[in-house]
Amino acid sequence: MGKKVSILTAVAIACMLLLPALASATLVNEYGMHYAGQEKCLTCHGGIMGPSELALHGRFATEGISPETPEAWTAFQSAGAIDPVAGTGQSMYEAGGTYSITGLDWITLGDASEVGNSATEYLFFRGSTDPTVMPWNLVEGLMWEPAHGGEWVLSAEEGLFDESYSCQRCHMMGTTVPGTGTVPNPAATIQPSASTARQWARDESTTVSDFMTDASASMAGLGIQCEQCHGTGQESATGHMGTGVDVSTTLDVLGQSQVCGQCHGSFKDVPGTMGVYGYTVNLPMRDFVDVIGVCRGQSYT
């Protein structure tokens, strides 16, 4: 019993310490929504949580290539003799691609560590001249597989090719997309338009143009961060545990199916909205999406 009390006391102290740390938001997205960012959360909570708590969600997207490639490798390319086919639009290659390991900026999707032990995929920074086009591309046919002691898998059918990344809503924090629907979230002070940037949360000191042209501008909002499940630590009158968008560690919030369902659920956009874009867990998800399914005439949402 005494051990439980000690643990709860430590958590409570850490939460109190977190209040001043989050007094001023540091990340922002194109809907005007603010976030503290995982790095700031961990300045207090990092001493409580070990690597295993961050293995899959908190470490799903990381800067660079993980695990390290063999020293002799300078590029990713298929082992087969496949003629390269230049890409069109945002793509670098449509088939037979060769991607420099050191000459490009990379993001690893998945946790290749012993704790995570998951397969990984890879993004490289392509850049963009159009803010509505995501500047990160996913290399198709390239992955690292942890089975059998771990091995690199490179497609030998049509070789490697790349496409503009389109799964950022769940994999990155504060993702925004262009559109004409509304974001029914009071924290969204800027409503989307046809020219809204297709990006994710970035440091307030950077711009949309920076995100399009400089890979480093993407790193602050990288991955599935604390606030995507716990609520955003934006500035509010009584601190991040009070009004505004609450940060919660209680089961009454984290135990809700909509916390997981925002990414793992199946639903349709509520007409006139941007769907799940701009959703935060302090709000009812039914205002953003209709879950596909009913029980006795009652929506699952």
Report the pLDDT value the prediction gives residue 106, as an integer from 0 to 100.
Answer: 98
Note whether residue 11 is domain-resident.
no
Q: How far is CA 259 from CA 95, 170, 226, 268, 285, in A?
A: 38, 12, 12, 16, 9
Task: Provide the pLDDT confidence category of residue 233 given band limits of 50, 70 and 90.
Answer: low
Is the same domain home to 80 and 54?
A: no
Do residue 260 and residue 150 come from a single domain?
A: no
For the CA atoms of the chain, what is the radius of gyration?
21
> 16 in a domain, yes or no?
no
**21, part of any domain:** no
Residue 37 and residue 150 in one domain: no
- The number of folded domains in the chain is 2
Residue 275 resides in a domain: yes
Can you tell me the mean pLDDT for 267-294?
A: 87
User: Are both 74 and 216 inside the same structural domain?
Assistant: no
Q: Do 208 and 237 reside in the same domain of the chain?
A: yes
258 lies in a domain? yes
Same domain, 85 and 205: no
Closest residue by Cα to residue 75 from 94, 103, 109, 96: 103
User: Does 18 fall in a domain?
Assistant: no
* Containing structural domain, residue 159: 61-166
For residues 181 and 292, state if they share a domain: yes
Count of CA atoms in the C-beta half-sphere (13 A) of 203? 12
How high is the mean pLDDT of the chain?
Answer: 81
Measured at the CA of 168, the angle between CA 164 and CA 170, to 5 degrees, comes to 155
Does residue 13 form part of some domain?
A: no
Helix (H, G, I), strand (E, B), or coil: what is residue 216?
Answer: helix
The per-residue pLDDT for 253 is 59
Residue ending a domain, among 120, 145, 166, is 166
Does residue 252 contact residue 258 with C-beta atoms inside 8 Å?
Answer: no
Q: Are residues 219 and 146 in the same domain?
A: no
More confident residue, 301 or 13: 301
Of 166, 201, 234, the last residue of a domain is 166
Do 193 and 148 sit in the same domain of this protein?
no
214 — pLDDT class (breaks 50, 70, 90): very high
Q: Is residue 158 in some structural domain?
A: yes
71 and 192 within one domain: no
Nearest residue to 18 via CA among 231, 186, 251, 279: 231
> pLDDT tens-digit profile of 13-54?
333 333 333 334 489 999 999 888 888 877 777 655 544 455
Last residue of a domain, one of 148, 166, 184: 166
Residues 45 and 174 in one domain: yes
pTM for the model stands at 0.82
> Which ranges of the chain does DSSP label H, i.e. alpha helix?
2-21, 38-45, 168-171, 208-213, 227-230, 251-254, 257-264
Whether the pLDDT of residue 103 is over 80: the answer is yes
Domain match, 183 and 211 both: yes
Q: What is the dihedral of CA 182, 187, 189, 193, to 10 degrees?
A: -30
